[in-house]
Structure 1
Amino acid sequence: MKRSVFTSMLLVLFTCTMLTGCYSIDHVVGKGGATTGEIDEVRQWYVLFGLVPINEVDTADMADGADDYTITTEFTALDVIIGIFTGIVSVYPRTVRVTK
């Protein structure tokens, strides 16, 4: 009986880990960034399960005065891996990328 419960719990944990989704949100400013353009990437951190930001990411500063750029906010596979360890204390990252 105990082995069956352990196996079931392990299966649920594995399923939850594999079903975490990655997302990406793009904001195009002007004509957008070139696909081969310069990329500036930072990690934004949240506490309380994503409700309160810890650091502030200034995308205008990351764009460095460019008129045409793309801002991509995403939850990457690396963010998932980091979140496995930091999620215990309700801290979660996400990646913000500016392509000029």
Structure 2
Amino acid sequence: MKKVLVLLLVIAMFASSCAVHRHTIGKGPQSGVTQSSRQWYALWGLVRIGSVDTLKLAGDKTDYEIYTRVNGIDWLINFFLGWTTIQTRTVSVIK
């Protein structure tokens, strides 16, 4: 039984990385420099807490990519805070 629970936990952790969105602005990333921030949500993603300003993360660049995902750290946060309905996602701007 313990092995089944561990297997389910590992599958759930890897399945969460499927929640990825990429948005290419202009010609896309040119230098490979990345700025990241964490977006917080309540009620399992229905209510946004705070705001990640992608224009601020991009700076003066006009060619970049916005990459949002649930990574390993987010998964751990979501695992421990999920009962409180708090969830996170990582937002990265690749210049």
TM-score normalised over the length of structure 2: 0.83
Aligned length: 92
In the TM superposition, 1:1-100 aligns within 5 A as: 7=1, 11=4, 15=8, 18-19=11-12, 20-22=15-17, 23-34=19-30, 36-100=31-95
Percent identity, aligned pairs only? 34
Deviations 1:38-89 (A, max 9, x none): 1100000000011000011110111102110000011112211111111110
Further displaced range: 51-60 or 18-27: 18-27
CA distance in structure 1 between the aligned counterparts of 2:45 and 2:9, rounded to whole angstroms: 18
Give the corresponding residue for 1:4.
none
Between Structure 1 and Structure 2, the one with more helix by share is 2
Classify the secondary structure of the residue corresponding to 1:83. Answer: helix
Q: Give distance in 1, aligned partners of 2:35 and 2:16.
A: 24
State the shift of 1:11 in Å. Answer: 4.0
Q: Distance in 2 between matches of 1:18 and 1:65?
A: 40
User: RMSD in angstroms over aligned alpha carbons?
Assistant: 2.0
Write the letter of the residue equivalent to 1:29.
I
Gaps of 5+ in 1: 1-6
CA distance in 2, matches of 1:97, 1:44: 10
Following superposition, the deviation at residue 12 of structure 1 comes to 5.7
- Following the alignment from structure 2 to structure 1, what is the Cα–Cα distance between the partners of residues 77 and 25? 30
AA at the equivalent of 2:61: A
Q: Which structure has the greater CA radius of gyration?
A: 1
Distance 1:46 1:13 in 2: 27
Amino acid at match of 2:41: Y
